[in-house]
């Protein structure tokens, strides 16, 4: 743990052109150093979700009024979404049912069990997995939500999905949240080392299938998230959560670069287009220059957001597969294309498999990184 916190401290110093004011940084670095003896529980057991409440702001001495709960999407728009299509067509689902009865399904089940076990691997200290891309609209929030929900489903420790993109992103909607209240900047002011996990979760949005969500904003155009807030919040929150999945803004935004630098694992989402793959390759080459073996702890998701994508996935994946970097193919999924909350039972089989494979590749790197 001492090595861990030294690493974090060195990294913060390295990044610190706009170093945070001493008290804020000190509080959280100390929190990390004293982790074993800290009053808060280590990230091993899920607590029962507690509804978000304003009273704790008063208890911990936050000045100013507590923010109001704000609906994420006008309910009329959600109704207008209709039921939408399943990720797999009816024929595909029938085919999958038949394959399930065939002899080869034994091998498939064994592979799924192996990946699921891998996703469940314990972690000694909270791990941060940051998701970014070279531009917006390529599926960062969708991938973050899939990853967060997969960890929630398989892991027994608390999982946080954190939005670090103030550009009115889609993460809260994708995670099934109906309203948001407290944001990253609120938590940066509120968190103290004395807080218990149950105090902290009072400020987070409980996710339907387990785990918590922290949005970047209240869904209004406002001040962008700054690197100081990002560092304060992630460093403080990783004491409480086994895994934190961060939905970052696009590169080369400052917060995205900080997140890529400080995360234990980086997930680069590349769109299935020639220019998208080309640009994402530049991101990988940039990561290769970073200290802390950034490329060794990177996973690429090659995401097909259009049903008309014509780029050969093998060629695209080959272009992105730098030594030691796995490329997970996320297929076009009609349920994902529809927008709105992601429902596991509406996803195509291939999407669910890709999500588990991505979670397994990420956690494998998260546990092996120093």
Interface residues toward ligand ADP, by CB under 6 A? 133, 136-142, 169-170, 303-305, 330, 332-333, 336-337, 339
Nearest approach in angstroms of CB 140 to ligand ADP is: 3
Contact 239, 38 (CB under 8 A): yes
Nearest approach in angstroms of CB 183 to ligand ADP is: 17
Strands (E), 177-324: 179-180, 205-206, 212-214, 243-248, 265-271, 298-303
Question: For residue 129, what are the β-bridge partners?
Answer: 245, 265
Q: Nearest CA to 334 among 100, 93, 32?
A: 93
Q: Give percent helix, percent strand, percent coil of the chain, each to the nearest 5.
A: 45, 10, 40
Q: Which does 126 bind (CB under 5 to 8 A by kind): Mg ion, ligand ADP, none?
A: none
Residues 6 or more apart in contact with residue 124 via CB below 8 angstroms: 1
Q: Which of 52, 132, 141, 258 binds Mg ion (CB under 5 A)?
A: 141
Size of the site for Mg ion (CB under 5 A): 3
Which pair of tokens denotes residue 142? Answer: 């969708």
Q: Which does 301 bind (CB under 5 to 8 A by kind): Mg ion, ligand ADP, none?
A: none
Tell which positions 152-171 bind Mg ion, by CB under 5 A: 169
Nearest approach in angstroms of CB 305 to ligand ADP is: 4
Nearest approach in angstroms of CB 42 to ligand ADP is: 31
Question: Given the complex with ligand ADP, which of 161 and 170 has the nearer CB atom?
Answer: 170
Query: In 3-state terms, what secondary structure has residue 243?
Result: strand
Query: In 3-state terms, what secondary structure has residue 348?
Result: coil
Contact flag: residue 341 with Mg ion (CB under 5 A): no
Nearest approach in angstroms of CB 225 to ligand ADP is: 15
Residues found near Mg ion in the complex (CB under 5 A): 140-141, 169
């Amino acid at each position: 743990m001492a090595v861990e916190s030294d690493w974090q401290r060195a990294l913060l110093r390295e990044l610190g052109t706009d170093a945070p004011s001493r008290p804020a940084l000190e509080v959280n670095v100390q929190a990390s150093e004293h982790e074993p003896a800290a009053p808060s529980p280590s990230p091993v057991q899920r607590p029962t979700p507690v509804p978000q409440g304003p009273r704790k702001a008063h208890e911990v001495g936050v000045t100013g009024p507590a923010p109001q709960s704000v609906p994420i999407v006008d309910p009329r728009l959600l109704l207008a979404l209709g039921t939408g299509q399943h990720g797999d067509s009816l024929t595909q689902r029938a085919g999958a049912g038949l394959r399930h009865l065939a002899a080869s399904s034994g091998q498939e089940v064994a592979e799924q069990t192996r990946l699921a076990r891998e996703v469940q691997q314990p972690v000694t200290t909270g791990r941060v997995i940051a998701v970014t891309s070279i531009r917006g609209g390529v599926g960062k929030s969708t991938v973050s939500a899939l990853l967060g929900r997969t960890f929630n489903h398989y892991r027994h420790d608390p999982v946080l999905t954190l939005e670090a993109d103030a550009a009115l992103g889609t993460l809260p909607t994708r995670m099934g949240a109906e309203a948001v209240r407290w944001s990253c900047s609120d938590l940066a002011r509120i968190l103290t080392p004395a807080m218990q996990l149950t105090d902290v979760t009072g400020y987070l949005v409980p996710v339907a299938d387990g785990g918590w969500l922290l949005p970047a904003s209240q869904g209004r155009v406002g001040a962008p998230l700054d690197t100081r807030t990002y560092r304060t919040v992630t460093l403080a929150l990783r004491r409480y959560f086994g895994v934190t999945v961060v939905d970052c803004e696009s590169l080369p935004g400052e917060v995205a670069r900080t997140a890529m630098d400080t995360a234990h694992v980086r997930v680069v989402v590349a769109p299935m287009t020639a220019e998208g793959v080309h640009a994402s390759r530049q991101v990988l080459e940039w990561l290769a220059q970073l200290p802390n073996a950034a490329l060794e702890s990177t996973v690429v998701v090659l995401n097909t957001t259009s049903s008309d994508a014509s780029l050969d996935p093998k060629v695209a994946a080959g272009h992105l597969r730098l030594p030691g970097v796995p490329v997970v193919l996320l297929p076009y999924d009609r349920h994902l294309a529809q927008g709105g909350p992601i429902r596991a039972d509406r996803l195509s089989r291939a999407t669910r498999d890709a999500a588990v494979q991505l979670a397994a590749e990420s956690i494998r790197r998260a546990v092996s990184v120093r």
